[in-house]
Each structure stands twice: as structure tokens, then as C-alpha cells.
Amino acid sequence: MIKKSSLFFLICLFSLCAHAQIAFEKGYFITNSGEQIDCLIKNLDWKNNPDRFTYKISEEADAQTKTAQEISEFKVGNYKFIKAVVQINRSSDLAARLEGTREVKSEAEELLLQHLIEGNANLYYYEEGNLRRFFYARESLKPKQLVYKKFRKPDNTIGENNTYKQQLWNALKCDGISKRFIDKTSYKTSTLTNLFVTYNKCTDANWVDATTKEKKDYFNIALRPGINFSSLEVNRLDRSVKYDGAASFRIGLEFEFILPFNKDKWALLFEPTYRNYQSTTTQNLSFSPDLIILDADYSSVEFAAGIRHYSFITKNSALFFSGYMLNDMELNSSVSALTLSRSRLKVNPLSNFAIGLGYRLFGKFSLELRYDFPREIIRAFDYGSDFKNLSVIFGYTFL
């Protein structure tokens, strides 16, 4: 009955996760003719630069889509994208795919660039898979690529074309920016942003960075106590023993890293957990006239590594779906052998997988139902086993 109820709960919760939506946020877009349309835009916290977006004219209106070809600019939350025809170099920076020449070949493309810094000097960004390129412009001029390229030298070492540093030195003249400052600026968002912020503050005492993102906590630690409902079946040749199901306490510590894109919907997980299963059963084995008591004692520290997807219901609540890979470090565990001597079999569990569905409230409290796929825990000659587990886990995020 418990298994059927749990399965029904998992199916219902998964269905809710699938249909939960991120709320539309206030924003605008500008048409190719220059008309600004105020609307609600679905903020996907983009990792890759988009080529389209979904919007509503009002809360009650149907969702519609605009492509990059139809607009010149759009903004939602801390994201602003502008359309521009730019020269872009698409050579790979991956070591295995580096070109053998320092020369940079670029082609004209119409792209939506993310506007990172806006002021007397503008910084733009474009990302597509492993491709990352920065662009700059003084005031209202068209964006130009900051040229950077990794290449493979004849001696098979990796060289760098750092033309972007000369571009920056020529464009960003200011008392607060030295040649050493430019030379230390790497081709990364953090250092380039810092440089452009410094320049705009230097050239405009009233300049304010309007694109600064809200700081977020991307790393969480949660205490995870719960209850395990476990069962074990051991078989040898034509004999099989089912141990009584048992409920036991579990305690874990979950480390969660929120991936900084796609509206905080994805996270990487690592959770060490202490668990213990103890059970007995009586058997009337064919080689003994008496009932034989068999017992199982399975204690371990379980290491779960996985990924989680959040579907936000409101600002303070979310459903989530998790997938885990499980590895056990058993702690002096053993099971009675199916023999008259009842010798002990050492527990030696294999890795396996688990899935979980849950609910999180206020970013602090959570409740998860987790199902472990059946696991082989005895690897002795001519023995087999089937360990099953269902967990109800309570979580409290304290850091």
C-alpha cells in the first residue's frame, strides 16, 4: 500500500513540475521601426544569447514570440540585448580544435548582443556553446569585436593573439587606466567589466552602473534528516529469503551549487548520508527441521552525486526533480548465509541510481520523496540480492 501511494505521489508531483512556469516580468522591446512596446517578457536567465523571446502584452493575453529579425532591442530584469551586425571570429578555443595560425578571420553576422556595461564606453557579450566573444563601442558607435584568439604554434604549444589589449588601450584613455591595468585585463567578464566600469566612472562623475546584477547565493548547505523504508531479498540457487521491511533513520548533509544561468533552475548536488538497515526473518529451510532465524545488518555512509531541476511556483516556493548516482562505503555490514551454519556474508554494494521529487519553501525548508532503484549488495559466489529503498527526506538550508 505504501509503495502504491508513493508511486502515485511521485507521478502527481512530476506532473506539477512539468507544468510549473517561471513568471513573466516587466520589460520592453523596440521594433525595427523604432517603436517601444512595454510588455511582460519571460526571463529565462539566458546562458547562450537568445535569437528569440516570449512575451505577453498583459497578464491575461496569450504568449507570443519575437525573433531577432523582428526587433532591434529588448530588456527584461537585468538583461538587455541589442541587435547589431558585427564582424565575429568563430575559431574554437578548445585545445583539440585550435587553428594553426595567429591570423583572425571574421565574418559579418546579425546577432543579439548582451549589453553588459552602458555608458561612454559600452561592453557587449555573445555566448553560444563554447564560443565566447566580447564587443565594445564608444558612446553610440557600432560594436566591434575585442579580438582574442588561441592558436597552436609549430612547436605544438598554445599561443594567444591578444589584440584586444591594444584596442582597449587605444579606446579607453583615462587618468585612472594605466597600461599595466590593461595588460592585467584578461578576456573574461569579470575583468573586462571592471575595466569598463572604471573608465565610465573616470569620464563621468555622475555615471551609475544600471546593469549591475543582484548578488545571489549560488552555494547552499542543508541538513537532511529523514526516514528510510527498506527491504532485502537474498537468493542462492533455488532458495530465496525475504527479510522483513524496516523503517530506519537517515541523516545527510547536502552541498548544492546553483548553476548561474537559466533563472537558477539547475543545481549540482553532493550529499554524504549515514544509513542503517537491520532486519530479521525466520525460515524453514529444507536441510533443517527447525525454524532458522536469519538477520541482516547493513550500515553505510552513502555518497550521492546528482543534478536537480527547479520549477518555480511563486517567488518563495518551488517543486524540484532530482537524479542521483549512489555509491556506498559500508560499515562492517553482513547478512546471514542461507546455510545451516548461518555463516556471515559480507555486504559489498554496487553503485546505483535514484530519483527524487520534492517541494522547497522560502529557500530554507524542503521535503523530498526519493526512490532508489534496486541494488545488488552481496557479491559472494552463487548468491544474489535485491535491496530496495524509499526515503522521505526533510531539509533545512542553514548556509
The Cβ of residue 46 has, within 10 Å, a number of other Cβ atoms equal to 16
pLDDT of residue 242: 85
pLDDT of residue 296: 87
The neighbouring-strand residues paired with 238 are none
Is residue 73 pLDDT above 70, yes or no?
A: yes
How confident is the model over 300-344, as pLDDT tens digits?
999 999 999 998 888 788 999 999 999 999 998 888 776 656 678
Cell of 75: 530588456
Q: Which residues 6+ apart lie within 8 Å of 307 measured at CB?
A: 266, 267, 268, 269, 322, 323
Whether 279 and 290 have beta carbons less than 8 Å apart is answered as no
Band (pLDDT 50/70/90 cuts) for residue 17 is: very low
How confident is the model over 41-66, as pLDDT tens digits?
998 888 899 999 999 999 889 999 99
Band (pLDDT 50/70/90 cuts) for residue 287 is: low
CA distances from 209 to 68, 118, 122, 205 (A): 26, 7, 11, 12
Residues 151, 146: Cα–Cα separation, whole Å: 16
Whether 322 and 355 have beta carbons less than 8 Å apart is answered as yes
Share of the chain above pLDDT 70, in %: 88
Per-residue pLDDT, averaged over 288-298, amounts to 71
Is residue 21 pLDDT above 80, yes or no?
A: no
Is residue 19 pLDDT above 50, yes or no?
A: no
Whether 123 and 197 have beta carbons less than 8 Å apart is answered as no
How confident is the model over 251-265, as pLDDT tens digits?
999 999 998 777 788
Give the predicted TM-score (pTM) of the model: 0.63
pLDDT of residue 344: 82
pLDDT of residue 227: 96
The Cβ of residue 164 has, within 10 Å, a number of other Cβ atoms equal to 20
Residues 375, 389: Cα–Cα separation, whole Å: 9
pLDDT of residue 292: 65
The neighbouring-strand residues paired with 299 are 276
State whether the Cα torsion 342-347-353-354 is positive or negative.
positive
pLDDT of residue 281: 82
Please measure the distance between the N-terminal and C-terminal CA atoms of the chain and give it in whole angstroms. 37
Whether 371 and 390 have beta carbons less than 8 Å apart is answered as yes
What element of type H or E holds 294?
strand 292-314
Whether 338 and 239 have beta carbons less than 8 Å apart is answered as yes
How confident is the model over 220-275, as pLDDT tens digits?
999 999 999 999 988 877 777 888 889 999 999 999 999 877 778 899 999 999 99
Residues 346, 151: Cα–Cα separation, whole Å: 55
109 vs 378, higher pLDDT: 109
Cell of 164: 584586444
How confident is the model over 131-178, as pLDDT tens digits?
999 999 987 789 999 999 999 999 989 999 999 999 999 999 998 899
pLDDT of residue 275: 92
Residues 114, 62: Cα–Cα separation, whole Å: 27
pLDDT of residue 340: 58
